[in-house]
Amino acid sequence: MESKFIINGRQPLSGNIKVKGAKNAALKIFPVALMTDEAIKVVNVPDIEDCHRAQEMLVALGHSVKNLGDGQMQIQRQNKTCLNLPAELVNKFRSSVMFVGPLLATCGEAHFPHPGGCVIGATRPIDMFLDGFAKMGAKVKTLENSYHLTAKKLKGASIFFPKVTVTGTESLMTTACLAQGKSILENCAMEPEIPALADFLNKMGAKITGAGTSTIKIEGVKKLSGGEYKIIPDRIEAGTFAILAAAANSGEIIIEDCEPKHLGALWAIFDRNGVNYKLGKNSIKIFPSAKIMAENVVTHEYPGFATDLQSAYTVLMTQAQGISLIHETIYDRRLLFCDTLTQMGADIIMADPHRSVVNGPTKLYGRKLVIPDLRAGIALVIAALIAHGKTEVSNIYQIERGYEGLAERLKNIGADIEKI
């Protein structure tokens, strides 16, 4: 039977909560295992559904994935790599597309359907990946329900991304490591997961410079070795817990094992909201605030305000004094969850698919909720935690795609939440 969360809201929250390894870093590191015959050890792997799917993908492609316990995995090629990415896995997470470049670079071929993932944008296209592979010399065939890519030998290329893309940057940077000659990628995404991936590839023998800036240069090498990779802390999880603490506004919450410096845009807006917080080197303390003030937000590529924090911030604004405009610039379906928040008592007007206006503060009330996607899901959990009464949350697979042991960790800071 399907699992649900039952949440009784308005319990005072306080205490310590630890941040896990970053989903969006882990998902980019697993495909790198296809590019070496040696073993790769990955440390601080979050125990989440999307990582399980990525590990299943590695097995389907002929690799062994050993769980060494305590968030450590060892991956090694076992059989000849398969060239088909299985549809049932590709449909479940968008970053399955990260496996394409390594297959193409090492086997000269990849066959895969359009990737799935959260339904937060009209189609979530992969045109910039396909254009990049074509520039590196791959033949790209778009079939009725899939793509077929072939390349005898990939060549380095100069690629200017027409739009900033996180996974696109990561995919072409990774693939270029085994292409012949030099690649220059311009208008790259700068999210912290990108230099983290580049650091690991460089440890394996790649020659990447500039990751974390908008221009990345890669000198192709003949082969890569194995290595060990420690996944960086999940900045979205840390930011989400900070927003939860501010929204609950009931006690001191200490968020541990995180990188506060990856969340500069959140601290800038918290200053304007009047949220009472203190940053340590690897921790964040949120204290009760006298009053939370409304403040507009515009989502932006890193280092701007992350789209992945927008939904949680919208919930915070339902508790703030005044009117805030939430401008979601990256995706056109990420504000749809506002309808559910309105059913819980929020006063939100949807101006258009990219902008909503929140009038706060309002009381929220528990309801029966169905989770539409990962980040809307965690936002609705936050709403339930601060709402009056009981909320029943279903389709929690979407939340478990990205947050490990959420109910347990929330219980530890005083939440009344049960997974049934």
| DSSP type of residue 82 | P
Residues 294-313 that bind ligand EPU (CB under 6 A): 307-308
Q: Is 118 a catalytic residue?
A: yes
Residue 199: CB minimum distance to ligand EPU, A: 17
Stretch that binds ligand EPU, among 55-63, 160-168, 197-205, 392-400 (CB under 6 A): 160-168
- For residue 353, give the nearest of 370, 375, 329 by alpha carbon: 329
**Start-to-end CA span in the chain (Å):** 10
Which parts of 274-373 fold into alpha helices (H)?
307-317, 338-343
Choice from 44, 167, 240, 310 touching ligand EPU (CB under 6 A): 167
* Closest to ligand EPU by CB, 295 or 328: 328
* Closest to ligand EPU by CB, 193 or 295: 193
Query: In the stretch 89-118, what mask flags binding to ligand EPU with x, by CB under 6 A?
Result: -----xx----------------------x
For 269-310, the three-class secondary structure string (H helix, E strand, C coil) is HHHHHCCEEEECCCCEEEECCCCCECCCEEECCCCCECHHHH
Tokens 């000198």 found at: 219
- For residue 175, give the nearest of 108, 228, 94 by alpha carbon: 108
* Closest to ligand EPU by CB, 270 or 403: 403
Choice from 66, 152, 153, 163 touching ligand EPU (CB under 6 A): 163
Q: Considering 118, 177, 188, 258, which one is annotated as catalytic?
A: 118
* Contact assessment for residue 202 and residue 182, using Cβ atoms and an 8 Å cutoff: no
Choice from 253, 375, 400, 413 touching ligand EPU (CB under 6 A): 375
Residue 302: CB minimum distance to ligand EPU, A: 7
State which H helix or E strand residue 356 sits in: strand 355-360
State which H helix or E strand residue 76 sits in: strand 72-77
Q: For residues 23 and 413, what is the distance between their CA atoms, to the nearest angstrom?
A: 22
Choice from 29, 51, 126, 232 touching ligand EPU (CB under 6 A): 126
Residue 124: CB minimum distance to ligand EPU, A: 5
Q: For residues 78 and 60, what is the distance between their CA atoms, to the nearest angstrom?
A: 11
Q: Taking each helix axis as running N to C, give the angle between helix 166-176 and helix 100-107, from 0 to 180 degrees, rounded to the nearest 10.
A: 20
Q: At 107, is the secondary structure helix, strand, or coil?
A: helix
Residue 129: CB minimum distance to ligand EPU, A: 5
Residue 226: CB minimum distance to ligand EPU, A: 24
**Residue 206: strand pairing partners:** none
Which amino acids are annotated catalytic? 118
The site for ligand EPU (CB under 6 A) is made up of: 24, 27, 94-95, 118, 121, 124-129, 163, 165-168, 189, 307-308, 330-331, 374-375, 402
